[in-house]
Amino acid sequence: MKQGAAIGTAEIHAASNYRSRREVFFRRLKRDKWLYILLTPGLLYFLLFKYVPMWGVLLAFKDFQPFLGFWKSEWVGLEHFRTFFQNPDFFMLLRNTLVLSLLNLVFFFPAPIILALLLNEIRLSFYKRTIQTLIYVPHFISMVIVASISYVFLTTQGGAVNEFLYTVTGSKIDFLADPNWFRPLIILQTIWKECGWGTIIFLAALAGVDVEQYEAAVMDGASRWRQIWHITLPAIRSTIVILLILRMGTILDNGFEQIYLMMNALNREVAEVFDTYVYALGITQGAFSYSTAVGLFKSVIGVVLVLGTNWLAKKFGESGLY
């Protein structure tokens, strides 16, 4: 910036100004050469693994033939999109995705808020810390482990839950294959894995509440319920609003790993979502162009939703993300 100002005051005519700008450019490049050298691996990473694939989405408008390669494959315009929208699978995917997102919103979203409110009422800090330590654990367990534990306990072949059911009711329930059990299982797994972790952000907001507010409320004879309602809840309201809005932005994302792991031939009808569909068609069946089109459709809707909700967040007076 200093150099730029120095050039401005030099008041030399256009041609040599251009030359000196170039000189400044190279001088700065030379001065900061170590910084640019350090920057190179990271930039290469982003170009190679992020921007080349972005440009690769053009495949969605081509009919990719492996033996022809990317360049020689024929352009087909929007044909893959047309095929996809006319395919009954499209409605199945959209329905499954939206139902799962909605169930998540209704059953999972409030859980960390309630848990944080309960934790906030604990006065014994030792007890509070112990509980926090315990409930954060599942967040760090991989989805494969979560699914594996579910399998081990729920299987009809010697799984503990079914053994118990059998001794009590005399019959077993095939939780893992029954389509009716798929969605509740997914929601339960999510609650178990992420509910505790989700409290962190609310507890942080609550930590900022001035204790004097509670003291003043007690002086005025406010009960615990009233304190929660008038002090604690308003303190986390803006956090709740922004998380809710952000969740709207990711409504088409259902976590590939979890669904992939819990899906099987019997519950596919309710389990298949966009990402698993892209995987099945693209990677397993090699329909690269068609699956890229499906993925692109999802990404574009996702970007629109994220930007839209971010705009909404700002409207609500929140700071937004971008």
Partner 1 sequence: MVKKQYRSAGEVTFDVFNYLILGIIGIAAILPFLFVVAGSFATEAEITKRAVFLIPTTISFDAYKFIFSTDTIVRSIGVSLYITVIGTLVNLFFTVTMAYPMAKRYLMGRNLFLNLVIFTMLFGGGMIPTYLVIRDLHLLDTLNALILPGAISAFNLIIVKNFFQEIPVEMEEAARIDGCSELGLLWKIVLPLSKPVLATFTLFYAVGHWNNFFSALLYINDPSKWPLQVMLRQIVMLSQSAAGDLSSMDPNFVQPPEQSIKMAVIVVGTLPIMCVYPFLQKHFAKGVMLGSVKG
Q: Which of residues 260-319 bind partner 1 (CB under 8 A)?
A: 260-261, 275, 278-279, 282-283, 288, 291-292, 295-296, 298-299, 303, 306-307, 319
Are 237 and 116 spatial neighbours (Cβ–Cβ below 8 Å)?
no
Find residue 62's DSSP bridge partners: 75
Spatial distance between the Cα atoms of 175 and 182, rounded to a whole number of angstroms: 7
Are 281 and 291 spatial neighbours (Cβ–Cβ below 8 Å)?
yes
For residue 133, the minimal CB distance to partner 1 (Å) is 6
Q: Is 49 in the site for partner 1 (CB under 8 A)?
A: yes
Interface mask (CB under 8 A) for partner 1, residues 231-260, using x and -? -------------------------xx--x
Q: How many helices (H) and strands (E) does the chain have?
A: 19, 2
Q: Is 53 in the site for partner 1 (CB under 8 A)?
A: yes
Residues in 183-202 that interact with partner 1 by CB under 8 A: 192, 196, 200-201
Q: Is 38 in the site for partner 1 (CB under 8 A)?
A: yes
Q: Is 50 in the site for partner 1 (CB under 8 A)?
A: yes
Q: Which of 12, 106, 118, 233 binds partner 1 (CB under 8 A)?
A: 118
Spatial distance between the Cα atoms of 290 and 61, rounded to a whole number of angstroms: 9
Residues in 9-28 that interact with partner 1 by CB under 8 A: 25, 28
Q: How many residues bind partner 1 (CB under 8 A)?
A: 93
Which residues, at least 6 apart from 159, have a Cβ–Cβ distance to it below 8 Å?
151, 152, 153
Q: Is 131 in the site for partner 1 (CB under 8 A)?
A: yes
For residue 173, the minimal CB distance to partner 1 (Å) is 14
Interface mask (CB under 8 A) for partner 1, residues 142-171, using x and -? xxxx-xxx-xxx----x-xx-xx--x----
H-only helix segments in 155-287? 160-169, 179-207, 211-219, 224-227, 233-249, 256-262, 268-271, 274-278
CA atoms within a 13 Å half-sphere pointing along the CA-CB vector of 137: 8
Closer by beta carbon to partner 1, 98 or else 201: 201
Closer by beta carbon to partner 1, 21 or else 95: 21
In degrees and rounded to multiples of 5, residue 154 shows phi and psi of -100, -10
For residue 97, the minimal CB distance to partner 1 (Å) is 16
Spatial distance between the Cα atoms of 258 and 143, rounded to a whole number of angstroms: 6
For residue 235, the minimal CB distance to partner 1 (Å) is 16
